[in-house]
Structure 1
Amino acid sequence: MPLQLLPDHSTIAADGSLVIGGCRVDDLASEFGTPFFVYDEVHLRDRAREAVAAFGPGVAYASKAFLCTAMAALVHEEGMCIDVATGGEMRVALAAGVPADRLVMHGNNKSNLELEMALAEGVGRIVVDSFDEMDRIEALVAGGLPVPSVLLRITPGIEAHTHEFVKTGQDDSKFGFGLASGAARTALDRAHRSTAMHLVGIHVHIGSQVFVVDSFRKAVQTLAPLVNDLGLPEFSIGGGLGVAYVEGEESATITQWGAVMNQACRDAGITAQVSAEPGRSIAAAAAVTVYTVGTIKDLPGIRTYVSVDGGMSDNPRPVLYGSGYETFLPRAVAADRPREIRLVGKHCESGDVLVREGYVPDDLAVGDLLATPVTGAYGHSMGSNYNKVLRPPVVFVRDGDARLVVRRETYDDLLRLDV
C-alpha cells in the first residue's frame, strides 16, 4: 500500500494496524460500524491554512467536494470563504455559523428562490453564469432586494487534460460566457452598466482533477487582456487541482499551484487580487473509507470478486469516471498485496465496481476490514440511497479523539419524506 496516499497523520501500530489521528481504525469500526468515512481533522485544517497562505483570505473552499456543518465550520475557522453552488449548500454553511458575506454563490442555473436567498442573506459574491441569471437578479433588485457584488464566469476555450465529464473551460460547455463567441464582452458590458449588480471581477474554471498546471497558466494568459482592460479588483482562477489516487500518480501541492498561478498573473500584468476555489485538494486525501468484506467469489481463470457492505452509493466516482483507487487491509497496512481482486459493492448492478484492479494480502478473509484511501472528496457528497442502502457516517479524528459529525442513516430516515 503506498503510504503517501494515507491521511497525513496516519501511523502503523506495532501489530501492523492502521492508526489515523491517534485512533485505531479497527476500534473505530467497532464503535461506528461499517462502512464509514474517517477524516484526519488536522490534515483538513493544514490544507485549509495552506490555501489561505497561497492565495489570501479570499480563497474559497469548494464545498461540493465534501460538505457538512462540521466541515463548513472547520474551513471557516481556518480563514477560508466557502463556495456554494445551490441553496442547499448555502443553507448548510449558514447553519454552521459561516457569515453570509464569506460565501461565494455559484451555479449555472440558479433559481429565483436561490438568488432571492443569496441576496436576502447578503452573500459576499455571486458568480453570474448566464444572461437569464442577469434578468433574474435585476428583477429581484427591482423588487427591493439588495444589489449584489458579482463576478462573471468566463469560458476561455481551454481544453483541460482531464475526464470529459469534468471539463468546463472549453467552448462547448454549459458553464459561463464564452470568450470566443463574444458573449463574455457583451455580458461584462451589461453587468457594468446595470444598476442591479456591482461588478467586481472575473471568474474562470477550466475543469476538475487537472494535473497539468500549464492548463491553468493558459487560462490566465487567455483572459489577461480582458482582466487588464477592465481594471476590476478581483480575478478568481477557480479550482480543479488534481490529487493522486493511486500508486504512481503525482500532483502539485496547493502551495506549488498558488505560486505558479500568482507568477502567471504577475507575468501577464494582472494587478487584481487573485483568488481560487480548491475543494478536492483540501478534502480528498484526508479520508479513508472502511468496509467489511462479506463475500469472496473466486472464478477460476477469470477473477476474484470481493464484495463489501458499501458500493457505488458511497463512492460513485469509479462508475461515473472510471476512477482508480487502491485497496488495503487496515489490519496489515504495509503487508505485501499479491492477490488481485475486483472490489465490488452490494448493489443490484453489475457496474457496481469500486476498484477494478485491486490488490490485497493472500490471507484476505470474510469479515476482514478493507479500506480505500483518498475518498474524502466526491464520495459522501455524491452518495445516494440506491437500493435504499443507508448512507454511511462521517467521523473526524484528532489527537486520539473521534467525533461523529454525520450519523449513519436509519431505515426511518428512508421513510421520512414519504407521504
Structure 2
Amino acid sequence: MIDIKLLRDEPDRVRASQLARGEDPGIVDAILAADERRRSSLGEFETLRAEQKAVSKDVGAAMGAFQRAKKAGAPDAAHLESVAHAARAKAAHLSDQVKALESNADEAGAELERLLRKVGNVIIDGVPTGGEDDYVVVETIGTPRDFASEGFEPLDHLALGERLGAIDMERGAKVGGARFYYLTGVGALLELALLNMAMAQATAAGFTAMITPTMARPEIMLGAGFIDAHADEVYRLEADDLYLTGTSEVALAGFHADEIIDLSAGPKRYAGWSACYRREAGSHGKDTRGIIRVHQFHKVEMFSYCRPEDAEAEHGRLLDWEREMLAKIEVPYRIIDTAAGDLGSPAARKFDCEAWVPTQGKYRELTSTSNCTTYQARRLNTRERDPNGSGTRTVATLNGTLGTTRWLVAILENHQQPDGSVVVPEALRPFLGMDVLKPIA
C-alpha cells in the first residue's frame, strides 16, 4: 500500500496519480478523514489510559490505607473504606471508557487500512496518462520479415506447432477444458530450452535461482497486491484457503515477508521458475486459438529487493536483461511505457516488451518489468536497517519476466520457413540441441 506519510504530506500528488489511473481522487479525502479519526481516537485513548493507570495506583493506596485502619480499629476506617470503594468505581468506569476508545481506535485503524488498500501505487513522473491504448512507444528493435517477398504466406503458431508435433490443443481441451494444451515432443523441449536459457542468463547476472511454491496464503496474495481489485483473475482453493499463483512474483515477494534484510552490498535478486495459473476472467472470445492466452503456463521471473532510492535505476537494469533475452531469440519487438490506467495496483511504472507476431500483423506482449517501489514491501513488512541509522525502513521491490510459454509463439512464427520447418535461434541451439525444427508429417 502507499505510505500514509506521503498521502498526508503530498495529497495532491496522490490525487493526480488517481486521476491518471482513471480512479476516484476523492478517496484521498476519505483516507485523510479516516486518518484524523484514528489519530484522534488514539490520542483520547492514550490520555485516558494514563489517567486509568494513575487511578489504579490510587485504588491500591486507598485499599491499603483502609485495610491498615480496619486492622488497627482506627475511627476513620469507615471513611477510608468509602474512599477506596469510590476509587474502585472510578477505575471501573475508566476501564470501560478506555476499552470503548481502544475499540474506536481499532475500528478507525481498520477503516483506514481498508481505504489505503484501495489506492494503487503512486505513479512515477512521466508515466503516460490514460488506459490500455494510451501507451508510449519507447523504442522499436528489428524489422518484421516481408514474407510476401519471400514468396509464401506465414502459418500461425498453432498450425506450425501441429505440423511440428509440438502443440496439441485438442487433447488439452479434452483433459482440462478450453485454454489448456499439451506441449509435445519438440514443443516441450523448446519451452524447456527457452526457460533454461533464461535461468542461465539470470544466474550469470548474479540472480539466485528459485523453484517457488505455486500456492500462496491469502495474506501473501494480498500483500503482493493480487487480490485487491482482480481477485476474479485468480484461482482459489476454498477448502484449503490457498490461491494458485499467476506468477512467481507472489512467492518471491513473500520470501522475505516480516523480515529485516541486508541490502548493504546491493539489491537482492532472485529468478523464480514456476508454473503459473490464470483464470483469464473477462477474456471470453479473445485469443481463443493457440497458446497466447491460456490458463496454465511456465515462466522465469526476475525479482529484486533494493533500496527505494535505487529502484528506478534497478528498473532500467531489469529492462536491459529483458532486452538481452529478446535479442537471443532474434525477433522484432518494441518497448512501451504502459499508461497509468493499464498498470496493476502495485506498479508505479511498467515497461512492456512486445514481439511482432506476423500472422496477426501486430505486436503482442511477451514480457514486462514493473517498479513497485515500496508498495508490496510495506504490505508484507519487508524492511532494511536505515543507512542513516534511524531504525528500519521499507525496501523497494521490482519484477520482470525473462521467459514464458508465450515466447514460443514469437519464435515459431518469426523463424518459420516455406516448408513448415522452423530455424532455431542461434543462442537457443545449445540448450535445445537442434538447429532446425522439422515437420513430422
Q: Is TM-score (shorter-chain normalized) higher than 0.5?
A: no
Question: TM-score scaled by structure 1?
Answer: 0.23
Greater per-residue helix proportion: 2
TM-score, with normalisation over the residues of structure 2? Answer: 0.22
Higher Cα Rg, which structure:
2
